[in-house]
Amino acid sequence: MSATVAQELVSGLYDARARTLALVGDLRGAQLLGPLLPIVNPPLWELGHVAWFHERWEWRHLRGLPPLRDDGDGLYDSAKVAHDTRWELPLPSIDDTKHYAATILERVAERLSGHAVADDEVYFHTLGMLHEDMHGEAFAYTRQTLGYSNPLPALSIPSAAPLSGDAAVPGGSFALGAAQTAPFVFDNEKWAHEVHLEPFRIARTAVSNSQFADFVDAGGYAGREFWSEPGWLWRQGVGAHHPVYWRKNDAQQWEERVFDRWIPLRKDHPAVHVCWYEADAYCHWAGRRLPSEREWEVAAAGEVKDGRLDTRKRLHPWGDEPPSAQRANLDGAFGGTAPVHAFPAGDSACGCRQMCGNVWEWTADDFLPYPGFVLDPYNEYSAPWFGNHKVLRGGCWTTRFHLIRNTWRNFYTPDRRDVFAGFRTCAA
């Protein structure tokens, strides 16, 4: 591996760590553990887990070197340490945890900078960096869940004209998934395989708060006819009557909680923190449907030529150029969600906006392997979750820019409302 690539990896590792510390550095006392909830981890444990993951793959696996902590596997291996026990573990102090994280990062960086690194080792260093970036997003939604403040600074959102209606997408053959020439992808993206699609129409923007409020105000949560059987059981079980972070004020106007602040509902922002069941119910109420995973990827990545799908695919909705603040709401740059019509420079070839960034978008499909699926070395990334999770696409406002691409598949159970997830719809 060239010295340039090694230095890029070192820079990426330190960049990921800077984001992690920005999201946990101000937490003190009881905030470091928080309440035992099934949807979040104790921040103190999660910081240690991030450090342990680097050690596991970039220090011990690649170098055959001994662990820095003899108790690390017993504390931080997420595949073996049951979720509900993580609050009861004899976790090191925050200062000791930060020291452990800093030490392993320094040693990995030193090995990268001072030694020749084989090309096939790039995978494990990239894995460690992207894994930490994904946990950075988890730290952000943990802070939202627990009502902590938002530590990320915010740029001003560029203005844009309203956008509405559907984009017409032609049918045809399409290569779903990542090409084998891609530099780094996760195992669930492998590999591109031909699928066929019928023509369809998909909303140019994600469903807005205003649109979702119409569903709520029309009694959508009480209308049994709009809900699937498991969705209705979920709604009854949690007593849901509106999105989890909404409430009516004294004037009977909707408000939303954004981290630790209640503010008037931002009508032109996307509906966020809605689970798959809520998205599906909205679609039934509106006479629409969620896009399939292949429809979503075609609308984001497909090129259209002479009214037909072309064989070429875009890396990002706008093309193969890297993300920027003009194209997408990523990297926490704007401190939260943006209006659904913002960032026209990021439109896909089919005319859909914000298919990258702002909010994750639920699709209709279960999370399943592609044909010929083969486990990557990090066995626990995808395989344990096939079959009982739903696929989300596109990233959100806290997703790091080097994670995102049109083929990336995220996955959560259909009841999850803590993640920064929304949805767009297709014509029924």
Q: Give residue 335's pLDDT.
A: 97
pLDDT in tens, 375-409: 999 999 999 999 999 999 999 999 999 899 999 99
Tokens of 396: 């959100």
User: How many helices and strands in the chain, by DSSP H and E?
Assistant: 10, 15
User: Cβ contacts of residue 426 below 8 Å, gap of 6+?
Assistant: 166, 200, 201, 202, 203, 288, 289, 290, 291, 295
Provide the residue type at 24 as one letter. V
Q: Cβ(343)–Cβ(318) under 8 Å?
A: no
Q: pLDDT band at 2, cuts 50/70/90? A: low
Which one has a higher pLDDT value, 77 or 307?
77
Stretch (H or E) spanning 288: strand 288-289
pLDDT in tens, 10-29: 999 999 999 999 999 999 99
CA distances from 257 to 234, 336, 358, 361 (A): 22, 12, 17, 20
Q: Give residue 307's pLDDT.
A: 85
User: What is the rounded distance in angstroms from the CA atom of residue 206 to the CA atom of residue 118?
Assistant: 43
Query: Looking at the whole model, is its pTM more than 0.95?
Result: yes
Average pLDDT, integer, range 87-115? 94
Q: pLDDT band at 114, cuts 50/70/90? A: low
The answer to whether residue 165 scores a pLDDT higher than 80 is: yes
pLDDT in tens, 227-240: 999 999 999 999 99
Average pLDDT, integer, range 62-77? 95
Interior CA angle at 316 toward 407 and 199, to 5°? Answer: 70
User: Cβ contacts of residue 81 below 8 Å, gap of 6+?
Assistant: 74, 75, 89
Q: Give residue 34's pLDDT.
A: 97
CA nearest neighbour of 127 among 55, 67, 40: 55
The answer to whether residue 3 scores a pLDDT higher than 80 is: no
Average pLDDT, integer, range 182-202? 96
The answer to whether residue 178 scores a pLDDT higher than 90 is: yes
Using N-to-C axis directions, what is the helix angle for 3-24 and 94-114, rounded to 10°? 170
Q: Which CATH number fits domain 156-428: 3.90.1580.10, 3.40.640.10, 3.30.43.10, 3.40.470.10?
A: 3.90.1580.10
Q: pLDDT band at 181, cuts 50/70/90? A: very high
Per the prediction, the chain carries an average pLDDT of: 96
**Domain limits, the chain:** 3-146, 156-428
Stretch (H or E) spanning 304: strand 302-305
Range 3-146 has CATH code 3.20.20.140: no
Which one has a higher pLDDT value, 309 or 285?
285
Interior CA angle at 301 toward 295 and 307, to 5°? Answer: 75
Average pLDDT, integer, range 417-421? 98
Q: pLDDT band at 119, cuts 50/70/90? A: confident
Do you find a cis peptide bond into 191, omega within 30 degrees of 0?
yes
Average pLDDT, integer, range 193-222? 98
Q: Give residue 118's pLDDT.
A: 79
pLDDT in tens, 322-370: 999 999 999 999 999 999 999 999 999 999 999 999 999 999 999 999 9
Which one has a higher pLDDT value, 1 or 426?
426
Provide the residue type at 170 as one letter. P
The answer to whether residue 258 scores a pLDDT higher than 60 is: yes
The answer to whether residue 1 scores a pLDDT higher than 70 is: no
Residue 82, number of CB atoms within 10 A of its CB = 8
Provide the residue type at 345 as one letter. A
